[in-house]
Structure formats: structure tokens, C-alpha cells
Structure 1
Amino acid sequence: MTGTENGTYEGFTPEERAAMKEHAQEQKKAARRRGASAAEKAAEAERDVLAKIAEMPDSDRIMAERVHAVVKANAPVLAPKLWYGMPAYALDGKVVCFFQSAAKFKARYATLGFNDAAKLDDGAMWPTAFALTEVTADVEARIAALVKQAVG
């Protein structure tokens, strides 16, 4: 949300409004899938995620493809789905983690984020979002460990 120097509310940014519209479309699409089998729903949701990744600018797309592959390989219990227009991975319908492209909110880096369904608890404070500028072998290993921990 945006504000002025004196702290007054100016409303949502165009990017935030676009994300909310994408979420509404995702909900409508999910409602239309209600009669499909679980396997058909899962396959269609993954196609949606892969299509969204394919639309990303090259730098984000390359990272999102690697994140997708790492999550699928290391936490196969997570189901790919779109969440506010972002590739996300859910357990029992609850989003555990997501990839936010840098382009989505005009940020200088992409983000790998975890929601409260992720079992990353570590004492009284722990990180739930990670900046990504490149997905190297070391980064892949760290993502793999995080998603394994997240699903417990």
C-alpha cells in the first residue's frame, strides 16, 4: 500500500491491484475445476504455474524454473498452484511457499517466500522470505533444505 509523507493512505499500487485481480481469476478457475478428478486438477494447476513462469522476463523465468524443479524434487507432497499470480506450492490447500518475480512488484530481486504453514520455526524469530538474484548450486541446495523442513 502506498502513503504520503504525512502517512495518509493513497490506496493500492497498480501492481497490488493486478495481483488481487489475478487472485480473483484464480479462484474462479478453481471453482470451475470442482467436477474434475484430483489428478486432472493437479495437472491443470501445474500447467498454469508453468505458463505463468514462461511469461516472466528471462532472469526471473530462469530462477522460477529452477525453484519449481527443486521444490518438485525435494517436496513432492507440495502441489503447484497459482497464488496472487505467483507460482506457489501448497499442502492440503494451504500455500507453504511461493516465488515472487522481481518484475511483479518492480523489485530489484525475486523472492522465495514461506507462509505460516511452513514448519520453519526456529526459536522466537526466523526468516520467512529470501531474496534471489541467481539460483546457483549452493542456492538450490539451500532451497531444497528449506522446502524439506517446511513440509516437516
Structure 2
Amino acid sequence: MTTTDTSTESGGFSAAERAAMKERAAELRAEGKKGAKAADGLQDVLASIEKMAPVDRALAERVHVTVTATAPELSPKTWYGMPAYADADGKVVLFFQDSGKFKYRYSTLGFQDAASLDDGDLWPVAYALVRWSPAVEKRVVELVRAAIS
């Protein structure tokens, strides 16, 4: 998914995108208990992203938009304070760890055992993420699609 009208100083969410996500959270709460839980998860993810340093925040926002567009069946939630996306059973499939979390030089896009990335006897489950680009977005889409297949 490419973005056309989402530019901000940080390269993250536009004001319109933020407003739309808040509206969606309100809609989910209105759906009842299950919707309220989903809304709370979304709000928690957005709050965790908001606390990040600008560079990490921009990456986390692009990851969030890409994951939710590619795999709408995954539910946003926080996992150890990090933005994460869980399957219908509540198992975390993937997460974003900002570089500031443990003072790393890069952010991490990681996958848990619920992700279907198996490839023989050895496969990567975490990826260093330094900068967002169309090539990075394409690769993240491919990984998310594989993870949910």
C-alpha cells in the first residue's frame, strides 16, 4: 500500500489518518464488549507509538498502516509495551520494537511462532528496520501475507 496524502513532518500519520483511527476506535466500542476490547487494543497501540522518538514513530506508523491494510484480520494490541498484531486466538503474530526500547541502533519488525514463516530448518523471525521506502513496504507486505497464510 502506498500513501499519497499522508505526509507529515515525521513522515508518519497525517491528521486525517489520526482522526480516522480515533473514529474507528469509537465505532468498535459502540459494537459492545468485543468491539470495546479491539478499540482498547488500537488505542493502546496508538498511544505506544505516540511515545516513541520521531524517527521510530514514523516507522511504527508506517508499519501499523501497512499491517492493518494487509492483514485486517489481525488485531492491534500492545505486547510488552510494543505495538503488536494478534490473530483471532489472541496470539501475537508480529510486533514492532522501536530502537529506543533497548537503545538499539535500529528498530525491529519481529514475528512470533504464530507467524507462518517456516522455511525448512532455519528462517528469520526478526528484521532490522532503519528507514521506510517503497522497497521496505513491499517486503513488509510480503512478510505479513506469509505470516498469516
> Which secondary structure state, in structure 2, belongs to the residue aligned with residue 127 of structure 1?
coil
Residue-by-residue CA offset, 1:90-131 (whole Å, 9 max, x unaligned): 002100000000000000000000001000001111000000
Listed as ranges, the gaps of 5+ residues in structure 1 are 1-35
Which of residues 63, 66, 88 in structure 2 aligns to 1:67? 63
**1:79 positional shift:** 0.4
Listed as ranges, the gaps of 5+ residues in structure 2 are 1-31
Residue 129 of structure 1: aligned partner: 126
Which of residues 97, 112, 131 in structure 2 aligns to 1:100? 97
> Which secondary structure state, in structure 2, belongs to the residue aligned with residue 72 of structure 1?
helix
**1:135 positional shift:** 1.2
Distance 2:43 2:98 in 1: 18
> Which secondary structure state, in structure 2, belongs to the residue aligned with residue 82 of structure 1?
strand
> Which secondary structure state, in structure 2, belongs to the residue aligned with residue 50 of structure 1?
helix
> Which secondary structure state, in structure 2, belongs to the residue aligned with residue 38 of structure 1?
helix
> Which secondary structure state, in structure 2, belongs to the residue aligned with residue 77 of structure 1?
coil
Please, what TM-score do these two structures have when normalized by structure 2?
A: 0.77
Distance 1:74 1:145 in 2: 9
Which of residues 76, 81, 103 in structure 1 aligns to 2:77? 81
Residue 23 of structure 2: aligned partner: none
1:58 equivalent in alignment to 2:54: yes
Please, what TM-score do these two structures have when normalized by structure 1?
A: 0.76
Instruction: List, as ranges, runs of 4+ consecutive aligned residues in structure 1 with deviation greater than 3 Å.
Output: none
Residue 19 of structure 2: aligned partner: none
What is the Cα-based RMSD across aligned positions, in Å? Answer: 0.8
Tell me the amino acid that sits aligned with residue 41 of structure 1. Answer: K
> Which secondary structure state, in structure 1, belongs to the residue aligned with residue 100 of structure 2?
coil
Residue 40 of structure 2: aligned partner: 44
Which of residues 114, 118, 127 in structure 1 aligns to 2:115? 118
> Which secondary structure state, in structure 1, belongs to the residue aligned with residue 110 of structure 2?
strand
Distance 1:54 1:86 in 2: 11
Which has the larger Rg? 1
1:90 equivalent in alignment to 2:49: no
Q: As a proportion of its length, which structure holds more strand? A: 1
- What is the number of equivalent residue pairs in this alignment? 117
